[in-house]
Amino acid sequence: MIKQAFILSCLLLFFLISTIVATSGANNVYNSLTIDDVTRTIDATKSNIVRQNIVLKVVNFGEKPTNFFHLTLPKDFAKKHLSFLKVTQDGQELKISHFGYEDKLQSDALFYEVELLKAIQSKQKIELRVLMVLANEITTPFPKKISQRDNQKLLYSDNAYFYSPYSISTQKTTIDVGTTIIESFTNSVKPSEKRGASVVYGPYMNQKPFAFSAIKVHYQNNNPYVVVSKVERLVEVSHWGNIAVEEQYDVKHGGAEFEGEFSRSEYSKGPSQTSPATFRTLTAKLPPTAADIYFRDRIGNISTSTVRPQSKAVEVDFLPRFPLFGGWRIRFTIGYNLPTHPFLSTKGDLYQLKTKFSVPFDFAPVDDLTLKIVIPEGAQDVKVVPPFEVESESREILKTYLDTTGRTVVVLKKTRLVPEHNQDVIVTYRFASTSILHEPLLVIGGLFAFCLFIMIYVRVDLTIQKSEAQIAEERELESAELVELYIEKQMQINSLYSSLESGVQKIRDANSTAFESALKNVSGTRDRLIEEINVIVKKLRDLNVQEPASKIVEALKVESNKLASLQRLATTKKAGLSSSKSTSEVAKTIQPLEKEYDALTEELNKIIDALNE
């Protein structure tokens, strides 16, 4: 019994000593510093990215100098939302590393160790500036679903205090939401008040370490809630003076989900009024020397884009084929060419390439990005210096025209990017000057071999008949090309309806000729396109491909009915305006015709989608 009591006493003593040592070690991490003042400015004006600019005045009240300062964030918050972290002192960026220490009393705290420019001496005060960029649903739509005419409202959640392992003498937080339409905010933490388009918390005095008080701000925000779910950037270098860039996007509207029916006629009245939470324009800032810009999707080239050359960049407004509401997504490709100068520099046989890591959209976070940099064939000793830590780095081999051994492809992957990540990535490699002759010699050799082949071919009878499988394959390929050509023609016809719809909208009285004028303007183009489609149908039938031909004929009938429906709508509207009916009565009269027109449009789109599969 005495022996057991002795063992128990020893274990208890060991536990107490371990706890004291651990606590002492914890205090040694940050017990010599205190924060005299914190000024935190939170920019929540963007819908999907929140930036926190924090000014810290740090004092060393201990007896020994220290070289490090520690930032902390709640673990779950940091792992989900923190995308970018930057700390500067006297205008110089400081080195940040994840700190392995865990506070026993604050197990949910994630530490970041900041190495200062030089040690803080006893009683010395320094100023640090911190930039935190938060994304990945840092704001959430509330309500989660809205109709076409509703405004989008967001909910931002945070801590009223600066979360820190140090005691703080005074602090103040300002949350700027960019609008005076603030539905509500947490006001149980005093003092707190609304000031115009901002909510101010503080000043708060003498806060203990790891102080936390949850706050929420509910406000209206119709800024584009653009989220790039996935993007693949391909940068192909040619020593013949060109750098080709192509980017494939998967973009979604991450805001409040759209519910109800979409009305094209309502949208055409003015998107900012009738569809405030939607967006249709994506503005990119390309290098000032960008040329041969293209924008396309799975259907083909999209010509609705505007290019504005500037001194430091080329701004391009890309307009997808349809507007994006909450929950909707689009996939598209953009590309352009750049001259090698000033992106590619050389010193002897050593080449250095500088290219941007992320996307040219400065308003959208990127969930998943893959950067592929294609180096010319024959390059040796390829090295890459990313501007920050990436999830993975690998090499691939790409074989394309005039290649023998293939080109080296540097592949970098990273998740959770924000515009601050769009920094230069540097690739260096060695390339012998004689290697550039590889492709011209291949061309010359190929031409010589071709001429030799022709000389032999014209002297030998090699006539053979095509097999049934080859004929069937050619027929299938030709029919697929004809279907694609039809879809292109049909899309041109569909684009004519915007002016016809506008003509209906402009009818204000019984004598209005707006619709008739619009119909007259597009009739010639429409008739020509229908004739071309009839030729396509005939070619398909000649190939004995009946199913696509039947669907195209069906689509032509639906399109004809669609035009007739729009004509009846215009006639009915004019007839209603000529009578003594009120505007609301006229609108009620033409409502069934509008629904019929929308139904025919949807039916036509379904047929096109079926052909496109």
pLDDT of residue 249: 95
Amino acid letter for position 327: G
Which residues, at least 6 apart from 445, have a Cβ–Cβ distance to it below 8 Å?
Answer: none
pLDDT of residue 440: 83
| pLDDT tens by residue, 261-309 | 888 878 888 777 788 888 888 999 999 999 999 999 888 888 878 899 9
Q: Which of 153, 166, 146, 135 is nearest to 71 (CA)?
A: 166
**DSSP, res 576:** H
pLDDT of residue 49: 94
pLDDT of residue 449: 94
pLDDT of residue 212: 92
pLDDT of residue 461: 66
Low-confidence ranges of the chain (pLDDT < 70): 1-31, 100-105, 461-466, 580
pTM of the complete model: 0.66
pLDDT of residue 9: 55
**Interatomic CA distance for residues 333 and 247, integer angstroms:** 6
**DSSP, res 324:** B
Classify 241 as helix, strand or coil: coil
Assigned architecture for domain 226-431: Sandwich (2.60)
Amino acid letter for position 418: V
Q: Which of 215, 46, 194 is nearest to 133 (CA)?
A: 46
**Interatomic CA distance for residues 572 and 574, integer angstroms:** 5
Adjacent-strand bridge partners of 158? 215
| pLDDT tens by residue, 39-83 | 999 999 988 999 999 999 999 998 889 999 999 999 899 999 999
CATH code that applies to domain 28-220: 2.60.40.3680
For the chain, what are the domain ranges?
28-220, 226-431, 472-612
**Interatomic CA distance for residues 102 and 75, integer angstroms:** 11
pLDDT of residue 370: 96
**Fold matches, 28-220 and 226-431:** yes
Q: Is the dihedral of CA 468, 473, 476, 482 positive or negative?
A: negative
pLDDT of residue 221: 93
